[in-house]
């Protein structure tokens, strides 16, 4: 039976209904066939429509090593080397769901080195297991290695607590230090009970010298540790980070902690659009306040790229035993602003900032417009300021439920097609009834 015959019989059913005569069983079955055919049409559209294509990229060193099916960290981070990620109670969190299509373009699915055709070879002294070079302004991904491979971020994830604080808090707000702030594990900048600090000062301590005590103090201002983590994870999701779960605001390893070079690129591109963030990470020295018997001191930025790379815009350093060396750095050369992201690296054969410098050199050596994928745009509500946490309490389920534009597109098209089918059927019914009335 053809779809056209089904439509004809559907009209007969409508005709029968208009005349008051009961439709026979055969015609009802025909109508059901019509509806099934319409459903198949919608399903076909869902399968056929996908994200916009990106320029063709070539994979190195070979297709087998670069295929998504052979990527060891597609689902979970590398095995931990210590017990810092063992939950205090219950089972470890399940790995995050892997999107059906790679965010940013199909070429970013692989875990080998991904470069555009007719571009120079990438630097051979980059030890990071995952990295990315991207344009801060256009969002073009110029080259990458395992961009969606899941790794631990260490302190470069502090960008999220920084942006959550910048979006929500008054920079001049005074914050009293606490003993819990001072007890934070790892690097500290001197936040302690008895001291009073502005949000702006805490942000400088957080981003310039990776103060975990500053991260703890800012998390308190965001509603406490649990609320802060919910806000941070919702922000990550709204920025498009599908590989990211933040377990601690400081970047210390915790149960389920995960991100990717691609996601970090999304977060820092968003952050560098904010003048407060951009100014802080570009600051070389800053007077950090003391209190009582603890004098203030000159805080120095620990990002060596800022001192040694012409046009450097700053960035962020990171390290834990499980994460290895992580790094983000950006630079401006003749108006072209690029950033480099490194995850799960080492200090061999050269320091992480030097590896980033070589990746930036590589990026600047490629022609403008070189692209193997793209950093997607954030949720428009973030740009408009209508979705600040101060205006709406976050739902913890949001971080897992947000879809990227690429994933939402088939849904929108499918709904449109289904609506068109329904309207078409109603038109046929109306025409049939009108024809009956004229008889």
Contact predicate 134/375, CB 8 Å: yes
CA distance 103 to 242: 8
Contact predicate 167/388, CB 8 Å: yes
**DSSP reduced 3-state for 339:** strand
The DSSP call for residue 129 is: S
Instruction: Kindly name the residue from 210, 250, 258, 374 that is annotated as catalytic.
Output: 210
To the question of whether residue 386 is assigned a binding role by annotation, the answer is no
User: In whole angstroms, what separates CA 140 from the centre of its chain?
Assistant: 15
The tokens describing 431, both together, are 């025409």
Nearest to 185 by CA among 114, 248, 100, 99: 248
CA distance 52 to 101: 11
Contact predicate 155/241, CB 8 Å: no
Q: Is 210 a catalytic residue?
A: yes
Instruction: Kindly name the residue from 158, 188, 231, 238 that is annotated as catalytic.
Output: 158
327 strand-pairing partners: 317, 342
Q: Is 155 a catalytic residue?
A: yes
**Residues written for the chain:** 439
Which letter, b or e, does each residue of 141-169 get, where b requires 16 or more Cβ atoms within 10 Å of its Cβ?
bbbbbbbbbbbbbbbbbbbbbbbbbbbbb
What lies within 8 Å, CB to CB, of 393 at 6+ separation is: none
Contact predicate 359/340, CB 8 Å: yes
User: Strand (E) positions, 199-347?
Assistant: 285-288, 297-300, 312-320, 324-333, 336-345
Instruction: Kindly name the residue from 6, 14, 155, 250 that is annotated as catalytic.
Output: 155
The DSSP call for residue 109 is: G
Contact predicate 92/223, CB 8 Å: no
Catalytic residue numbers, as ranges? 155, 158, 210
Q: Which residues are annotated as a binding site for substrate?
A: 316
Q: Which residues are annotated as a binding site?
A: 316
């Amino acid at each position: 039976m053809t779809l056209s015959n089904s439509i004809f019989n559907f009209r007969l059913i409508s005709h029968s209904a208009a005349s008051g005569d009961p439709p026979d069983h055969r015609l009802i079955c025909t109508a059901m066939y019509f509806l099934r055919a319409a459903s198949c049409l919608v399903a076909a559209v869902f399968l056929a429509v996908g994200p916009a294509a990106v320029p063709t990229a070539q994979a190195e060193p070979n297709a087998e090593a670069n295929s998504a099916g052979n990527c060891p960290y597609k689902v979970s981070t590398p095995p931990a080397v210590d017990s810092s990620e063992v939950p205090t109670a219950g089972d470890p969190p399940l790995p995050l769901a892997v999107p059906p299509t790679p965010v940013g373009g199909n070429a970013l699915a692989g875990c080998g080195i991904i470069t555009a055709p007719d571009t120079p070879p990438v630097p051979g002294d980059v030890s990071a297991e995952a990295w990315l070079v991207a344009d801060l302004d256009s969002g073009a991904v110029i080259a990458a290695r395992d961009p969606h491979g899941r790794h631990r971020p260490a302190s470069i994830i502090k960008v999220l607590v920084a942006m959550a604080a910048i979006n929500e808090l008054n920079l001049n707000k005074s914050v009293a230090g606490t003993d819990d702030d001072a007890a934070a594990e790892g690097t500290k900048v001197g936040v302690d009970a008895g001291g009073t600090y502005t949000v702006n000062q805490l942000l400088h301590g957080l981003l310039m010298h990776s103060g975990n005590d500053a991260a703890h103090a800012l998390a308190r201002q965001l509603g406490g540790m649990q609320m802060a983590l919910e806000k941070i994870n919702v922000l990550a999701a709204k920025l498009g980070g599908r590989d990211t779960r933040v377990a601690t605001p400081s970047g210390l390893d915790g149960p389920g902690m995960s991100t990717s070079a691609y996601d970090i690129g999304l977060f820092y591109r968003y952050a560098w659009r904010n003048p407060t963030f951009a100014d802080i990470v570009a600051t070389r020295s800053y007077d950090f306040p003391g209190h009582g018997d603890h004098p203030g001191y000159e805080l120095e930025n620990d990002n060596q790229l800022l001192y040694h790379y012409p046009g450097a815009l700053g960035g962020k350093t990171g390290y834990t035993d499980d994460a290895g060396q992580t790094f983000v750095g950006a630079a401006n050369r003749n108006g072209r602003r690029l950033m480099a992201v490194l995850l799960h690296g080492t200090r061999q054969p050269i320091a992480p900032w030097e590896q980033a410098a070589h990746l930036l050199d590589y990026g600047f050596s490629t022609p403008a417009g070189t692209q193997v994928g793209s950093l997607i745009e954030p949720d428009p509500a973030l740009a408009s300021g209508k979705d600040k946490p101060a205006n709406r309490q976050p739902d913890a389920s949001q971080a897992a439920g947000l879809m990227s534009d690429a994933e939402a597109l088939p849904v929108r098209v499918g709904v449109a097609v289904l609506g068109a089918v329904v309207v078409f059927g109603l038109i046929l019914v109306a025409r049939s009834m009108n024809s009956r009335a004229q008889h």
